[in-house]
């Protein structure tokens, strides 16, 4: 089934050759989102909670550009540079999914640049 890239207005520029989001049928997947603003600047240096907030806002913008919302998310893959940031990430993350949170995994991983503390990739099912 063919699909199409999802590129929300004002989204941060990709750091490599990929689409921030991709829709195929009802499925919308985001790339691993980092804490970058529309100009590609890091948001929340040294603060995992602030970075999580920016990451979630970037995911939200992609889903809205695809006609969906965070309520359509069925799975998130969370990457933390340091598991000591789990609590800070989780507090902010939980505020975006106050009811019926999606399935998720959370792992420690080396991220693309050392200043990034949190990366999240989302999968959603959005009505056509």
- Total domains in the fold of the chain: 1
Q: What is the mean pLDDT for each group of 10 consecutive residues in the chain (128 residues)? A: 86 82 97 93 97 97 97 98 98 97 98 97 94
Query: In this structure, what token pair is assigned to residue 30?
Result: 């985001």
Residue found by looking up tokens 């195929």 in the block: 24
In whole angstroms, give the CA distance from residue 16 to residue 98: 33
Tell me what pLDDT residue 1 has.
61
In whole angstroms, give the CA distance from residue 82 to residue 84: 5
Domain span at residue 68 reads: 4-125
- In this prediction the pTM is 0.95
CATH at 113: 3.30.1330.40
Query: In this structure, what token pair is assigned to residue 98?
Result: 């106050």
């Amino acid at each position: 089934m063919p699909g199409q890239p999802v590129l929300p207005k004002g989204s941060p520029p990709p750091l490599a050759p990929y689409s921030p989001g991709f829709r195929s049928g009802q499925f919308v997947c985001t790339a691993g989102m980092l804490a970058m603003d529309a100009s590609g600047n890091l948001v929340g240096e040294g603060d995992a909670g602030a970075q999580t907030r920016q990451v979630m806002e970037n995911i939200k913008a992609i889903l809205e550009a695809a006609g969906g919302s965070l309520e359509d998310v069925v799975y998130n893959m969370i990457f933390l540079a340091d598991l000591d940031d789990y609590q800070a990430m989780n507090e902010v993350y939980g505020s975006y999914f106050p009811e019926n949170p999606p399935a998720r995994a959370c792992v420690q991983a080396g991220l693309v640049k050392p200043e990034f503390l949190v990366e999240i990739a989302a999968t959603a099912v959005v009505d056509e």
